[in-house]
Amino acid sequence: MSRSVRPALLTVLVVVAAGAVAACGGNPASAGPATAAPAGVVAVEARNDPYSFSPSTLTVPAGSVTFSVKNAGTEEHEFEIFKGETVVDEIEGLVPGLTKELTVTLEAGSYTYVCKLNGHDQLGMKGTLTVQ
């Protein structure tokens, strides 16, 4: 007969994926850099000469914080905010030269920011973040 109908499964996947995006579009809690950052933007540089974040200590007020992380090194890096052993939020795919922003809502407390990629944190690529 004529050409066959595209599998229904595909349609289902499309709907599921679209639904997921729609759902999180309705949840501005942890996103929305356009409107966020009453505390201003916190600039951080990632380097690998030696492996480090600059600055390596940060203090920010509780609430919504925007980090602008620039990879000033020559390797790929990540910027992951940890509370204890739990990832709070992260920037991935930070290739050399790239600057990416991350807006995250933080409660008061002690955090760390690390690059776990290829064990860069063990080479010193970590910082402490105090939220007060």
Partner 1 sequence: MLATFFLMLREGLEAALIVGIIAAYLVKIGRRDALPKIATGVVAAVGLSIGLGLLITLTIEKLPLVLQETLEGLAAVLAVGVLTWMLFWMRRQGRAIKGELEHGVDVALTKNSTRALVALAFLAVIREGVETVLFLIPILSFNGTGIDVVFGGVLGLVIAVAAGWAIFAAGVRINLRRFFTVTGTILIFVAAGLVAFAVAEFGEAGFFSNTGAAFDLNRVLPDNGALGSVLRGLFGYRSAPTPLELIAYLAYLIPVLFLFVIDRPLLRKPAVAA
Positions touching partner 1 (CB under 8 A) are: 4, 6-10, 13-14, 17-18, 20-21, 23-25, 27-34, 70, 74-76, 85-90, 92-93, 95-103, 117-119, 122
Could you tell me the smallest distance in angstroms from the CB atom of residue 73 to partner 1? 9
Q: Yes or no: say if 94 and 76 are a contact pair by the CB < 8 Å rule.
A: yes
Quote the strand ranges of 1-132, DSSP E: 41-48, 51-54, 57-60, 63-71, 77-83, 86-94, 99-106, 109-114, 126-131
Measured from the CB atom, is 32 or 61 closer to partner 1?
A: 32
- The H or E element containing residue 103 is strand 99-106
Could you tell me the smallest distance in angstroms from the CB atom of residue 45 to partner 1? 11
- Return all residues near 70 (Cβ < 8 A) that are at least 6 apart: 43, 44, 45, 46, 98, 99
Could you tell me the smallest distance in angstroms from the CB atom of residue 122 to partner 1? 7
Measured from the CB atom, is 1 or 34 closer to partner 1?
A: 34
Could you tell me the smallest distance in angstroms from the CB atom of residue 99 to partner 1? 4
Measured from the CB atom, is 25 or 57 closer to partner 1?
A: 25
